[in-house]
Structure 1
């Protein structure tokens, strides 16, 4: 097995930017902000203790900025001591029935942008835009969203388009990570493994964000059982956790975001399992509700403790 590229202290663990939105209160978007304004948001991340950030495209679409503005953004990040190991894209599915072609082109621009800034991975998914009902809900995952069609032709189209992005990524040394998400072709461990296997490219891996599944108010596979299937395919990893309560007498299921060490996913075992199968990618930390950035900061320390033990015992 290849040596680990980092220590527990240097392993890239990025903060997501889901605690901030692209739209601003004054009618502008983050795309329009000055370098000084970007520095405020990024400085907050650095002050929380992070050395890495994922400029998640729900916050800023780097691929839609002019190259000079991308360079300006990166200059701000580097001046604050922040690296960008990867970029995540959300709700821009390459099989969207209306915008799929445009999102495929965007995906290619995103891969080019990742290479330009020195990132090594891009995360893609097949989940669609939030419905008005989801936007009104306290937790959007409690309301049904977009469902990928149970059609062989659409599945094949998804495989071919991800294969196309994967080949582009391989040319530039970029990993393509596919995000787990309910009611998509990556909505169960079995389906995600089948999909990744059909794409059949070494740089196309699975973003094992099983937090997106354990939060659902419906029956789901046990997290450990999911990870046993996913670990050999694990790549850039969105990590978060949830409390989950199940009443077997009524079938009622409830969930709530939780710190990584407190939720139903045993990340100590999940990380150890992934490492044993060759996981060598960055992490991204997410948390919904309250002061998500501070929860992620605490989660970073927990994850580094896990890595310290796992790396020491696996040498």
Structure 2
């Protein structure tokens, strides 16, 4: 088996979700001085990362003017951080109010990825937080926005993702579609159906099954989701949760390190590699010292990638 990178060089990016998109005074990181971005990115570099995904819940790099984007790039370069991918969040191309705006934004993200030398972009079909989710300790314990059970909207989603895929293909960029509850990628079977319906070689699945394992409701077993989806695996967000299912039917979950939660990531990554997975990883974690947990998760993945079962 020939792998695209070694265990030491495989791109494993830090997500910027541990860093809020608003500062203490309520202003947006988007509008902040570059020194503010540099402070957060320095934390990332100090945690041992050489790759970062400027997750757009923190900073919309695609919406910076050229001069400010150049400042962002310079900060990353000075810190030794490359940008292998850009992830978008809660900017669905079928949003009932902003879908057209978010489609145009998706095209800008693809152009920006090419400008930054990033070969991967993650898109999702999940909507903004509801008021209840904004108030909850863990947002996934409250019901979020659902994609409509409507054939026309489904086809609109397929068509718009295919439009983005054609643009991405022109720039040699891979799109990765994030699995997320109550969207057209909300179960393993739905995700496989959607990516198959898009039917474009530049489109893969972001098998972020942590988004589903954490739900306080019945879900598919993690290994079933992996088995169904790894043939389509692209740029991959990885995180883990402790999941408790009481005989009464009650379900509870809590963020966990990759090595300690419900999903067996050693087995999941081995299955993906065997199926031909050849994209970067993004490590995520909610709560506590999220960046510190992400750094430990990065090293855990490298140990898995260095194992003899991967390399044979």
Q: Same fold (TM over 0.5)?
A: yes
Name the CA shift for 1:313/1:174 in 2 (closer, same or farther; >3 Å): closer
Residues 127-138 of structure 1 aligned to structure 2 (within 5 Å): 127-138=126-137
Match of 2:288 in 1: 290
Give the TM-score taking structure 1 as reference length: 0.97
**Matched position secondary structure for 2:307:** helix
Deviations 1:244-263 (A, max 9, x none): 00012x10111000000001
Offset from partner CA, 1:91-145 (integer Å, 9 cap, x none): 0000000100000000000000000000011100011000111011010000000
Counterpart in the other structure of 2:272: 274
Distance in 2 of aligned mates of 1:211 and 1:182: 10
Offset at residue 313 of structure 1 (A): 4.1
2:243 aligned with 1:251:
no
Separation of aligned partners in 1, 2:125 and 2:211: 13
Contact 2:17-2:284 at 8 Å conserved across structures: yes
Query: 1:27 deviation in Å?
Result: 4.2
Alignment of 1:61-72 (within 5 A): 61-72=60-71
Residue 85 of structure 1 and its aligned partner are, at CA, apart by 0.5
Alignment of structure 1 residues 1-315 onto 2, 5 Å: 3-248=2-247, 250-309=248-307, 313-315=310-312
Alignment TM-score, normalising by the size of structure 2:
0.98
Deviation, structure 1 residue 22: 1.7
**Which string of whole-angstrom CA distances, capped at 9 and with x for unpartnered residues, describes residues 47-69 of structure 1?**
01111111000000011111221
Structure 1: stretches of 5+ with no match in the other structure: none
Identify if the C-alpha distance between structure 1 residues 151 and 192 changes in structure 2 by more than 3 Å, giving closer, same or farther.
Answer: same
Runs of at least 5 residues in structure 2 that lack an aligned partner in the other structure: none
CA-atom RMSD in angstroms? 1.1
Q: Distance in 2 between matches of 1:266 and 1:286?
A: 16
**Which secondary structure does the structure 2 equivalent of 1:60 belong to?**
coil
- How far did 1:21 drift? 1.6
SS at the partner of 2:175? Answer: strand
Specify whether residues 76 and 314 from structure 1 end up closer, same or farther in structure 2 by C-alpha distance, changes over 3 A only: same
